[in-house]
């Protein structure tokens, strides 16, 4: 029954959060420098990058696209977009220095050097944003106690079973679990899809350079800013992650990398997170418990609650009803038990085609001789 109570808790905090609510302040448009580290491209990259150049933002905006090599195919897309938007001060920056194992952060360090404005926005390459994103996301920074603003993200429509699994995990469970955690204590981490922070708070932690050896750089960035005494705010405006179709193996690798990284960064909360699996524990109860009418009713009630919660939470995030969400809740929970268990069986992950070992504190080192 504990898992059912935890699922209900997620639904309550999700219902109370003003998701998708707009709160733009017409008199607050500080200058922003957007740092956009890139590597490679797919069929969704152009529309994702274009969404940043088409922001309806009244303040000064500098956009810096960073890439490690001038031969990267994404360079052609960036040049095309810059030519299409001549009034936007956008620039393609070749970030040729290899400053550490996290190549994305290595680019951010080099982009930070030429960023002109006090407010820094950082976003992943596959993120699409609505036209009013910046106008809304910057509002919490009016409060000087806020050091960083981040946003929930959703996955676009899935093209196959594997991506449907991952989409449900993000669109239904992940954001509500973040709110569940926040209901216990102030947020002390960040979600990396789209973040805004001040140079003052960034400088206080040593800049992006202190993150270059960490895999979960978004978590580390938010955690270090929170430890400085600043508040981490959540914008109700949601961004969207768009990418080409991924195979089951690619999604599985991503889920395992995510799980092992969280386990290393937050071992206690990750260990106990399995208690919130709303399908696994009722199944255990059914198998291990006495075969009674009460047991069957209780198990059925728990599973029905989990299925309805999945349906509601994904609808709340995406704005669309999907009947498959109820069944997907059971599928996701089953797969998640396996991912959770495997997270304790090693520290090896694969990221951007390279194998790493995640060490204590989330530091990453190259891992040779590993078969992934």
Residues 303/279, Cβ–Cβ less than 8 Å = yes
At which residue do the structure tokens 């999604």 appear? 251
pLDDT bin (cut points 50, 70, 90) of residue 371 is very low
- pLDDT at site 24: 66
What residues have CB less than 8 Å from 212, skipping those under 6 apart? 99, 100, 101, 102, 105, 106, 109
- 346 is a domain residue: no
Interval 276-306: pLDDT, tens: 888 888 888 888 777 788 788 888 888 999 9
- Structure token digits, residue 53: 């150049």
Classify residue 52: in a domain, yes or no: yes
How many residues appear in the chain? 372
- The secondary structure element, H or E, covering residue 185 is none
pLDDT band at 370 (very low <50, low <70, confident <90, very high): very low
pLDDT at 224 over 50: yes
Mean pLDDT of 32-50: 95
Range scoring the smallest mean pLDDT among 142-151, 174-183, 353-362: 353-362
28: domain CATH number is 3.90.550.10
Residue 143's Cβ-count burial label (10 Å; 0-12, 13-18, 19+) is exposed
In the prediction, which pLDDT does 338 show? 94
Q: Tokens standing for 371?
A: 């078969």
Residue 190 lies in a domain: yes
Q: For residues 181 and 227, what is the distance between their CA atoms, to the nearest angstrom? A: 17
What DSSP element (H or E) covers 241? strand 231-241
Mean pLDDT in residue range 137-142 = 96
Average pLDDT of the chain, as a whole number: 91
Q: Provide the residue range defining the domain that includes 144.
A: 17-245
Q: Domain for residue 183, yes or no?
A: yes
Kindly give, in sequence order, each residue whose CB lies less than 8 Å from that of residue 93, ignoring residues fewer than 6 positions away.
Answer: 64, 65, 66, 67, 110, 111, 114
Distance CA 191, CA 302 (A): 30
Of these ranges, 19-23, 50-54, 278-282, the one predicted with the greatest mean pLDDT is 50-54
Strand locations in 156-227, DSSP E?
Answer: 194-198
Q: Say if 154 falls within a structural domain.
A: yes
Contact 152, 234 (CB under 8 A): yes
pLDDT tens digit string along 114-123?
999 999 999 9
Per-residue model confidence (pLDDT) at position 166: 92
Q: What is the pTM of this model?
A: 0.90
User: How far, in Å, are 153, 340, 358 from residue 215 at the CA level?
Assistant: 19, 19, 7
Lookup: tokens for 156:
């676009």
* 314 falls within a domain: no
User: Under the phi-then-psi rule, with left for phi > 0, alpha for psi from -120 to 50, and beta for the rest, what region is 247?
Assistant: beta
Report the b/e string of 339-360 with b at 16+ CB within 10 A: bbeebeeebbbbbeeeebbbee
Q: What is the DSSP secondary-structure string of 136-151?
A: HHTGGGGSTTEEEEEE
Alpha-carbon torsion, ordered 267, 124, 257, 303, to 10 deg: 80
pLDDT at 244: 84
Residue 74 dihedral angles phi and psi, to the nearest 5°: -70, -20
pLDDT band at 106 (very low <50, low <70, confident <90, very high): very high
Tens digits of per-residue pLDDT, 149-164?
Answer: 999 999 986 678 999 9
Q: Please state the rounded mean pLDDT for residues 328-351.
A: 89
User: Looking at the 3D structure of the chain, how many domains does it have?
Assistant: 1
Residue 45 lies in a domain: yes
Lowest mean pLDDT: which of 140-144, 161-165, 321-325? 321-325
DSSP state of 160: S
Residue 80, domain member (yes or no): yes
Please compute the mean of the pLDDT values over residues 229-235 and round it to a whole number. 97
User: Roughly what angle, to the nearest 10 degrees, separates helices 74-84 and 45-53?
Assistant: 30
DSSP bridge partners of 150: 195, 234
């Amino acid at each position: 029954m504990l898992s059912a109570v935890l699922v209900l808790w997620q639904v309550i905090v999700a219902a109370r959060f003003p998701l998708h609510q707009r709160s733009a302040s017409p008199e607050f448009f500080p200058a922003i420098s957007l740092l956009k580290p890139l590597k490679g491209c797919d069929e969704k990259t152009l529309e994702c990058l274009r969404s940043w150049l088409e922001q309806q933002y009244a303040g000064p905006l500098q956009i810096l696209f960073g890439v490690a090599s001038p031969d990267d195919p994404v360079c052609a897309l960036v040049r095309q977009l810059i030519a299409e938007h001549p009034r936007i001060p956008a620039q393609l920056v070749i970030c040729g220095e290899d400053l550490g194992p996290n190549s994305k952060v290595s680019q951010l360090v080099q982009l930070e050097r030429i960023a002109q404005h006090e407010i820094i926005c950082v976003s992943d390459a596959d993120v699409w944003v609505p036209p009013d994103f910046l106008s809304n996301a910057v509002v919490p920074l009016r409060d000087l106690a806020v050091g960083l603003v981040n946003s929930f993200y959703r996955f676009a429509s899935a093209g196959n079973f594997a991506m449907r699994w991952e989409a449900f995990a993000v669109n239904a469970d992940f954001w509500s679990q973040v709110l569940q955690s926040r209901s216990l204590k102030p947020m002390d981490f960040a979600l990396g899809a789209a973040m805004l922070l001040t140079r003052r708070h960034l400088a206080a932690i040593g800049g992006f350079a202190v993150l270059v050896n960490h895999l979960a750089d978004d978590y580390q960035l938010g955690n270090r800013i929170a430890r400085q005494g600043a508040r981490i705010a959540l914008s109700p405006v949601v961004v969207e992650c768009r990418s080409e179709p991924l195979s089951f193996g690619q999604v599985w690798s991503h889920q395992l990398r995510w799980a092992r990284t969280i386990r290393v960064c937050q071992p206690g909360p990750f260990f106990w997170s399995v208690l919130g699996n709303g399908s696994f524990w009722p199944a255990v109860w059914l198998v291990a418990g006495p075969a009674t009418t009460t047991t069957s009713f209780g198990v059925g009630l728990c599973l029905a609650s989990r299925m309805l919660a999945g349906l509601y939470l994904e609808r709340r995030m995406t704005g669309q009803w999907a009947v498959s969400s109820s069944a997907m809740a059971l599928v996701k929970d089953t797969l998640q038990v396996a991912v959770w268990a495997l997270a304790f069986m090693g520290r090896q992950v694969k990221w951007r085609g390279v194998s790493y070992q995640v060490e204590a504190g989330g530091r990453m080192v190259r891992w040779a001789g590993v078969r992934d």
